[in-house]
């Protein structure tokens, strides 16, 4: 299906979708993570952000992602694709480069 002529989905919607997918995996007992409590805390932080900024633009979502890399790493499913994963991977690479320069 072509996306021609359509506006791309905002990052906020991708974050909402990732949270919903992770909640579904927990509910359906398909989540095999060992750190379930940390995952629930991460989901809670993301939901607080989403509820606090109902019309957040991509810049604000990027700021949230950058400030909460570990949380987003727990929320995103291992096979995630799309713009949110690209933003996450970019910030993760940036953080790793800063850590390697500091060492």
pLDDT tens digits, 47-86:
999 999 999 999 999 999 999 999 999 999 888 889 999 9
Mean pLDDT of 25-50: 94
Mean pLDDT of 19-28: 95
Quick check: 46 and 8 in contact, CB under 8 A? no
Instruction: Answer whether residue 93 shows pLDDT above 90.
Output: yes
Instruction: Answer whether residue 21 shows pLDDT above 80.
Output: yes
Percent of the chain with pLDDT over 90: 80
Quick check: 103 and 95 in contact, CB under 8 A? no
How far apart are alpha carbons 78 and 85 in whole angstroms?
Answer: 10
How far apart are alpha carbons 55 and 57 in whole angstroms?
Answer: 6
């Amino acid at each position: 299906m072509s996306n021609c002529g359509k506006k791309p989905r905002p990052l906020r919607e991708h974050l909402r979708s990732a949270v919903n997918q992770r909640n579904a995996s927990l509910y359906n007992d398909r989540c095999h993570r060992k750190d379930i409590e940390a995952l629930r805390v991460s989901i809670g932080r993301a939901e607080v952000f989403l509820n606090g900024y109902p019309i957040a633009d991509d810049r604000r979502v990027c700021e949230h992602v950058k400030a909460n890399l570990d949380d987003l790493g727990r929320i995103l499913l291992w096979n995630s694709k799309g713009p949110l994963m690209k933003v996450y991977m970019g910030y993760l690479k940036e953080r790793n480069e800063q850590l390697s320069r500091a060492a």
